[in-house]
């Protein structure tokens, strides 16, 4: 994976309080704990990580994007894992290398025993898709290609992200 831009450059427009909050999280478990505290939003509006921090509400995709941004701050190169079914819609999670496998952080779905680590990315995707009813498909979206579109801080710039998700899922 090519080098990622420094996190500080990607969030340069964030207010200091938001930067300090994200940089205060030292482990993926602390990110997961914050995701658990967020309210659930069923609206179709997509929020950037900055807006999620401000509103303290998230859809599964919003929470996954915040987790990806926070993992990037910790030095983990995250990937966005997505699963879709016509019956239930979209699930998303932040996928990152951990303990020789791949861990998945999702909004409000942390297992009771901590982060679940999968042997492979495909195993993590199968597990996530298995949480959906009906014919589900899953994919990984590389966020680094979208960094220039300011997916971390500008809600208006998230159209490219949605297009990348739809393309990856074939919907």
Residue 26 lies in a domain: yes
Residue 141: per-residue pLDDT: 94
Structure confidence at residue 1 (pLDDT): 38
Q: Residue 70 domain-assigned? A: yes
Tell me which DSSP letter residue 128 carries: H
Task: Please indicate, yes or no, if residue 156 is contained in any of the structural domains.
Answer: yes
Q: Is residue 40 part of a domain?
A: yes
- Rounded to the nearest 10 degrees, the angle between the axes of helix 28-37 and helix 60-73 is 150
Q: Which one is predicted more confidently, 113 or 171?
A: 171
| Cβ neighbourhood burial of 13 (10 Å; 0-12, 13-18, 19+) | exposed
Q: Record the pTM.
A: 0.89
CATH of the domain at 118: 3.10.620
Percent of residues, the chain, with pLDDT higher than 90: 37
Give the model's confidence band at 154: pLDDT under 50 very low, under 70 low, under 90 confident, else very high. Answer: confident
Answer yes or no: is 2 within a domain.
no
Q: What is the pLDDT of residues 43-88, one digit of tens each?
A: 777 899 999 999 998 988 999 999 999 999 888 889 999 999 988 8
Give the count of domains, the chain. Answer: 1
- Confidence at residue 82, expressed as pLDDT on a 0 to 100 scale: 94
**What is the per-residue pLDDT across 92-110, written as a single tens digit (0 to 9) for each?**
999 999 989 999 988 765 5
Report percent pLDDT > 70 for the chain.
Answer: 90
Look up the domain containing 161 and give its range.
Answer: 7-169
């Amino acid at each position: 994976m090519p080098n990622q831009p420094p996190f500080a450059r990607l969030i340069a427009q964030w207010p200091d309080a938001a930067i300090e909050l994200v940089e205060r999280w030292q482990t993926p478990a602390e990110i997961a704990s914050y995701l658990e505290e967020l309210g659930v939003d069923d609206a179709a509006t997509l929020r950037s990580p900055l807006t999620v921090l401000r509103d303290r509400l998230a859809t599964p995709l919003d929470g996954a994007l915040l987790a990806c941004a926070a993992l990037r701050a910790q030095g983990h190169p995250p990937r966005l894992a997505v699963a879709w079914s016509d019956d239930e819609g979209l699930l998303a999670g932040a996928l990152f290398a951990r303990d020789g496998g791949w861990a998945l952080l999702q909004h409000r779905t942390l297992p009771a025993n901590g982060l679940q680590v999968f042997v492979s990315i495909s195993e993590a995707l199968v597990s996530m898709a298995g949480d959906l009813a009906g014919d589900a498909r899953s994919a990984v979206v590389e966020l680094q290609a979208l960094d220039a579109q300011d997916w971390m801080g500008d809600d208006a710039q998230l159209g490219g992200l949605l297009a990348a998700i739809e393309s990856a899922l074939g919907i």
